[in-house]
Structures are given as C-alpha cells and as structure tokens.
Amino acid sequence: MQVDTLCVVPIRATKRGDERTPLDGTYDVLICGASFAGLAVARELAGSGAEVLVVDRYEIGERQTSACGIPTVWMEALGLMEAERQRFDSLLMHTPHGDSRFRLPFTFSTFDYRELCALLWRDCDARFETAKVDGRARPANGDGAIAIDTDRGAIAAPLVVDALGWRRVLAGDDGFQPPDAPLSRGLEVHPTGTGEDLEVWIDRRYVPAGYGWSFPARDELRIGVGSFDPRFHVRETTELLAEDLDAERVRYQGNWIPHKLRHATEGGVFFAGDSAGHCLPLSAEGIRTALYFGIALGRELRGVLDGWQSREQAALRYAEFHDSHEWKFRWMLHVQRLVPRIPPRLLGPLVRMLGAKRFVEWSFGHYLQIAPPEFASSGSAHDQQRADQEQHDADHTLGAERDLVEAE
Ligand SMILES: Cc1cc2nc3c(=O)[nH]c(=O)nc-3n(C[C@H](O)[C@H](O)[C@H](O)COP(=O)(O)OP(=O)(O)OC[C@H]3O[C@@H](n4cnc5c(N)ncnc54)[C@H](O)[C@@H]3O)c2cc1C
C-alpha cells in the first residue's frame, strides 16, 4: 500500500509487549474485524449460546475508519442515537459554477465512532481479543474448522468471518492491491470547529474524479477528499480544501475504499463490509451497507448455530442475498464513471437540475432502499426462510390445482 497519503496516528489503547499473551483455541464462530461489519455480525449472534470470538488489531472503537455520516434512520433502527453528534436535512453541493442545496427526504447524522462501536458491542455477548490477523493457517484443519494465523497464535472455528476491510485478508488470492484494484482512496482531517451544513464539492481543483466533503460533528469538522482514481493522491488537495475552509490540518484519517462487489464467500470464509466490496460506488457510503450485510450474515450464521441449516446452506443463502444487490452496485459504478466525463461548465446547471424536489425524493428514496433501515428490525433468516418456503409451497399448490383444472 502507498502510505504517503494515508498516514494515521491512532491513539493506542491496544495491549503491547508482555500484555499480549498467546491466544489460540477453537471457537464456534471467529469474527475477524471489530468495526461496523464485524460488530453487526456479532450482535446478531448474541443469545445464541455459542462461543464467539471477535478479534481486531485495535481495541473496539480505538481507530476511526470514516467521516461517520449515515442516514439517521439506521442509527434509530439499531438503537444507536446516543452516539449521534449532528443531524442534517439538506446537502449543500458546491461546483465551480455555482452551489445548490438539496433538501433531503431523510436526514443524515454524523456520530462519534468510539461511542457507536461501544453501543454495538454493548448488545453483543461475544469475547474480544486484540490480535493482528495474518491470514489462513495452512494446512487447514481436517474437521471442518478453519484455522487462522494471528500474531498471538492460531485460532480455529467452523464459522469464520472476514470483516477486516478492503484488504480481504482471508481470501485465497492476494491480487487485490492498489492502484490496479477497483479501489478509491479517501483522506480527511479532523480539526476542531463547527458547521451547519453537510457539504460536498464536485470540483476538479480538489479531485479530477471524486469529491470533497465537510461533515460537521458538533465540535469537530471532518474535511476530506475521495478519489475514484486510486492513482490520484489526495493529501495535497485534502489540505487545500481544509485551507480554503480556514480549518486546521490535523488528525489525519484515511484508507482505500472498495467500489466493486467481491465474492461473499470463499474457501468456507464469509466476507462482510469492505472486505466484500459492500461500500457503495459513487457516494462511498459504506457504514450502512457494512451494518446491513453484517446483519444478514449474522442471521445466516445464527441459523447454523441453531441447527436449522449447515454452513454450506448458510454460504449459499448469504451469497444469493449478496448477489441480488449486484445490479444496484453496478449501476452506481456506471454513474461514478460518468461523472468525471461531464464538462465542468455543465456541472453547475446539471447539479441544479438534479436538485429538483421530485428528483431528489425519487433518487434518494431508491438510494436508501439499497440497504433499507427496516431490514435491521425484520425477522431472522429462519423466519425469512420459512416465509420463502410457505410462498414456494403456496405456488406449488396453486400450480398443482391449475394442472388439475386444466386436466379436467
Ligand atoms: C476518509 C474516509 C471517509 C469515509 N466516510 C464515510 C462516511 O462518512 N459514511 C460512510 O458510510 N462511509 C464512509 N467511508 C467508508 C467506510 O469507512 C467503510 O466503508 C466502512 O468503514 C466499512 O466498514 P467495515 O467494518 O467493513 O471495515 P472497517 O471499518 O475498515 O473495519 C475493519 C476493521 O478490521 C481491522 N483490521 C484490519 N486489518 C486487520 C488485521 N490484519 N488484523 C486485525 N484487525 C484488522 C481494523 O482495525 C478495523 O477495525 C469513508 C471511508 C474513508 C476512507
């Protein structure tokens, strides 16, 4: 990874040296990664009675991984409102040829990362350990368990989740490296300050393909630039945007952002969040989708623990669920590729046109439905499977009745 633009100085709460005792053993479920996707999976497994281990190289919530902006309804659906910092009912879009304010059909909120992770973890009953995951141990166990190498020893489980972010550490190949991989890059600074608006800049002064942003979070601003082209370095222009906004260039936070779906399962391992490419192209919104797919995966794994489906069935059902979203992600990627081709002088009028109330309501409504908040409170995978089966049986009975009528 080219770390020049992506440097981060986390506040380390993680155990070091002698405190890092050896860690090994076998669990029912091993969840690698304790951010949005990993914690969403763990939360769905609470109360299952299974031995669930969650590992991350940092303590839970120690290292912020985003600007932490999300549709408010998702925070409400998961009971996470205590972590909210600020709420917005409009989006202010800046182009070199004029500004437009979009009145949103639903609000967005910024939140405190550490607090939100703590709230998600509060609802889990898993065990947590800090450990750096190095990859799959070879050879794998013969008893159906999958062994994972960490810097504290090998851990095995029949159900293993990779929620480790874009690197997809537990995949068989290692061919997912920037700048050739379908990854965007994002970097932001977090100065102290206040603001009223959720703001976005589509301006080639900051980035030829991508956008700049300023997300206020009560007493802090999250000012950054994201480039859809991984070859474009965003450090200089992130600093330029901060300078233009008279903000301090402090507390850098950045990472690669996948903009294409990858396989949901591979070699018996389940992937959720950025590791499965669940971040939405164009908007680079990946928190809501990491939670959404994490919940879906958690429900399937719960089905295995409750004994009504096998790991293979869970893999099949989760992959089907993931694949059913593919066309929506593909469509957004088309638009992502289209935006940089629009001549700059047309951008202003186009953005104003797209700001029409009916269009905003229609497009944002569809956008929210890619990962709808109702999903968070909908039934378990077993309920869903029962409903599918009932529907299938009803269709079958109807078909048989129709055949009977036709035969008569
Ligand atoms: C600058 C920037 C701003 C963004 N802003 C937003 C935003 O406002 N809203 C939004 O919806 N999305 C935003 N995104 C995208 C969003 O951050 C991701 O899509 C989201 O964090 C994905 O969640 P995740 O749980 O899959 O992975 P991550 O949040 O990346 O978490 C991965 C976890 O795995 C751990 N980990 C990684 N490797 C290892 C290892 N080898 N061993 C052990 N642990 C490991 C990490 O410590 C981390 O806890 C932003 C991205 C960037 C780069």
Q: What angle do CA 313, 316, 320 make, to 5 degrees?
A: 140
Confidence of residue 404 (pLDDT cuts 50, 70, 90): low
Interval between CA 358 and ligand 1 midpoint (Å):
33
Ligand 1, atom nearest to 37 Cα: 25
The answer to whether residues 35 and 165 touch, using CB atoms and an 8 Å cutoff, is yes
Give the residue among 261, 297, 296 at the shortest CA–CA distance from 281.
261
Interval between CA 109 and ligand 1 midpoint (Å):
18
The answer to whether residues 136 and 146 touch, using CB atoms and an 8 Å cutoff, is yes
Report the relative pairing of strands 127-130 and 52-56 from DSSP bridges: parallel
Ligand 1, atom nearest to 215 Cα: 8
Check if 186 has its Cβ closer than 6 Å to any atom of ligand 1: yes
**What per-residue confidence (pLDDT) applies to 391?**
65
pLDDT in tens, 35-46: 999 999 999 999
Please tell me the distance from the alpha carbon of residue 162 to that of residue 328, in angstroms, as a whole number. 23
Interval between CA 314 and ligand 1 midpoint (Å):
25
**What per-residue confidence (pLDDT) applies to 3?**
33
Cis peptide before 340 (omega within 30 of 0): no
Most confident range, picked from 178-187, 235-244, 395-404: 235-244
Please tell me the distance from the alpha carbon of residue 324 to that of residue 404, in angstroms, as a whole number. 34
The answer to whether residues 252 and 7 touch, using CB atoms and an 8 Å cutoff, is yes
**What per-residue confidence (pLDDT) applies to 84?**
98
Confidence of residue 251 (pLDDT cuts 50, 70, 90): very high
Indicate if the pLDDT at residue 178 is higher than 70. Answer: yes
Check if 41 has its Cβ closer than 6 Å to any atom of ligand 1: no
Check if 273 has its Cβ closer than 6 Å to any atom of ligand 1: yes
Tokens of 257: 């952002």
Q: What is the mean pLDDT of residues 66-86?
A: 97
Average pLDDT, the chain: 89
Please tell me the distance from the alpha carbon of residue 223 to that of residue 103, in angstroms, as a whole number. 21
Of 1 and 117, which is predicted with more confidence?
117
Please tell me the distance from the alpha carbon of residue 270 to that of residue 164, in angstroms, as a whole number. 11
Indicate if the pLDDT at residue 1 is higher than 70. Answer: no
